[in-house]
Amino acid sequence: MALKPWLAERLPVAEIEAAIAHKTVPQHRHSIWYYLGGMTLFFFGVQVVTGILLLLYYRPSAAEAYDSVQFVMTRVPFGWLIRSIHSWSANLVVAAAFVHLFSVLFLKAYRKPRELTWITGVLLLFLLLAFGFTGYLLPWNELAFFATRVGTDIAGAVPFIGEATVRFLRGGPEVTGATLTRFYGVHVAVLPAIATVLLGLHLLLVQYHGMSVPPSVEAEAARRGRRIPAMPFVPHFALRDLFGWTVALAMLAGLSAYLPWELGVRADLFAPAPAGIQPEWYFLWTFQALKLMPAYVLGISGELVAIAAMTLGAAVLVFLPFLDRNTPRSRHLVTWGAGLALLFMVAMTLIALAGGH
């Protein structure tokens, strides 16, 4: 029995084929940015596959975590490759997501009717950061241990619920094996479950609404009385996507072979913190901003002010489609605001990388 007729009797195969055949992607001078979403999805897929493979050997306890990762790196056939790809891809997925976010922001793709696409996308970025934060601790090495201690300490500055939040995050007053087990559970169960729902919704909305055309391109086409060219999704866009993904795969393989991810020194709970403890690069700007804050601002703890500002920034980001009134003035404001935010993040990161001076 042929598969297609068999499936057609049970699923709307013809409708799906028709939808795919009719699906197009606008073609203009900013179209290159449309590939960033697919690239982020590719790296996320790599994370899922390599993460599942690492799960086969990883042991989430303070006594065994480091040794199990070392076992993966030294004894398991191609274990070094899988772990290195997972670590490199973890960084590249965040990088791709940030570029995707800013491209959507600058091209104003969050406008009506894509508000929910934007909100699910921003929440997915936050989830990726949470994946990064929880996954960083799992090898249980010295850098990860102290970075987690510093990172979770920040939550303690929040009034009323700070201490309880720190205890909840750590599974106790200090970063211990209980924190590791907790982070592991969040990393491999809680976050993937939420990510599956959000990613499904995000992709569904992208398919439903199609790609957004930037206002400047729309205005130019209207002025010239021309239709914006469109590229068939299959095969034109899909093959280009595949080309990009293959390049990304080659890049991951090269990085893993020539710059395999270090395991570092085993965490010692009683050792003093080594010099130069820093979080992952995507948290460096927040880390540096917190460091540069004065102890008090108008009598309020500087750390608290920074946390409040970042929370406000995150809220503005999530609800941006509702704050932008879609007028030329508000769009201009968003472009400048996003540019300044990007400049601030890059500057803080560079200062932190230069040693915090």
Partner 1 sequence: MPRAWMSTPAMLVAGLLAASIALRAENTAPARQPQPAAPAYAGPDDVHVRAGLTCVACHGAPQPGSTAEAPVFAPIARAAIAPLCARCHADAAYMRQFAPQVRVDQFAQYQTSVHGQQMARGEDRVATCSDCHQAHVILQVRDARSPVAPSNVAKTCARCHADADRMSPFGRSHEVFDDWSGSVHAAALLERGDTSAPTCNTCHGSHGATPPGVDAVANVCAQCHVREAELFRDSPKRPLFEMMGQADCLVCHSNHEILRPDDSWIGFESPAVCATCHDESGGGADVIRLFSEGLRGLRRDTDAADALVTGAEEAGVLVEDGHLALAAAREAHVRLRVLVHAFAAPPFVEALTEGREAVARADAAGNAGLAELDFRRTGLAVATLFILGFLVTLFLKIRRLPPIEG
- By the criterion CB under 8 A, which residues form the site for partner 1? 27, 70, 73-74, 80-81, 227, 229-232, 235-236, 239-240, 242-243, 246-247, 249-250, 253-254, 257-260, 263
Least Cα distance to 352 among 272, 292, 310 occurs for 292
Number of other CB atoms surrounding residue 211 within 10 Å: 21
Closer to partner 1 by Cβ: residue 172 or 232: 232
> Could you give the C-alpha distances from 313 to 94, 319, 337, in angstroms and in order?
18, 10, 11
Closest contact distance (angstroms) between CB of 229 and partner 1 is 4
Closest contact distance (angstroms) between CB of 335 and partner 1 is 28
Closest contact distance (angstroms) between CB of 248 and partner 1 is 10
How far is it, in rounded angstroms, from Cα 131 to Cα 94?
10
279-309: burial string, b at 16+ Cβ within 10 Å, e else: bbebbbbbbbbbeebeeeeeeebbbbbbbee
Closer to partner 1 by Cβ: residue 142 or 153: 142
Helix 79-106 with 238-258: angle, nearest 10 deg = 130
Residue with tokens 């009323």, as numbered in its chain: 160
Query: What three-state secondary structure class fits 230?
Result: strand
How far is it, in rounded angstroms, from Cα 252 to Cα 174?
35
Closer to partner 1 by Cβ: residue 27 or 176: 27
Closer to partner 1 by Cβ: residue 129 or 249: 249
How far is it, in rounded angstroms, from Cα 269 to Cα 63?
12
Closer to partner 1 by Cβ: residue 84 or 117: 84
Closest contact distance (angstroms) between CB of 9 and partner 1 is 32
The tokens of 329 are what? Answer: 């003035």
Closer to partner 1 by Cβ: residue 21 or 204: 21
Closest contact distance (angstroms) between CB of 308 and partner 1 is 43
Q: Are 136 and 184 in contact (CB under 8 A)?
A: no
150-169: burial string, b at 16+ Cβ within 10 Å, e else: bbbebbebbeeebeebbeeb
Closer to partner 1 by Cβ: residue 75 or 112: 75
Write phi, then psi, for 301 (nearest 5 degrees). -55, 130
Closest contact distance (angstroms) between CB of 132 and partner 1 is 22
Closest contact distance (angstroms) between CB of 73 and partner 1 is 5
Closest contact distance (angstroms) between CB of 235 and partner 1 is 6
Closer to partner 1 by Cβ: residue 243 or 344: 243
Closer to partner 1 by Cβ: residue 98 or 237: 237
> Could you give the C-alpha distances from 200 to 143, 157, 203, 205, 207, in angstroms and in order?
34, 35, 5, 9, 11
Least Cα distance to 157 among 306, 4, 276, 260 occurs for 306
Closest contact distance (angstroms) between CB of 219 and partner 1 is 18
Closest contact distance (angstroms) between CB of 78 and partner 1 is 9
Closer to partner 1 by Cβ: residue 240 or 291: 240
Q: How does DSSP assign 269-314, residue by residue?
A: TTSPPPTT----GGGHHHHHHHHHS-SEETTEEHHHHHHHHHHHHH
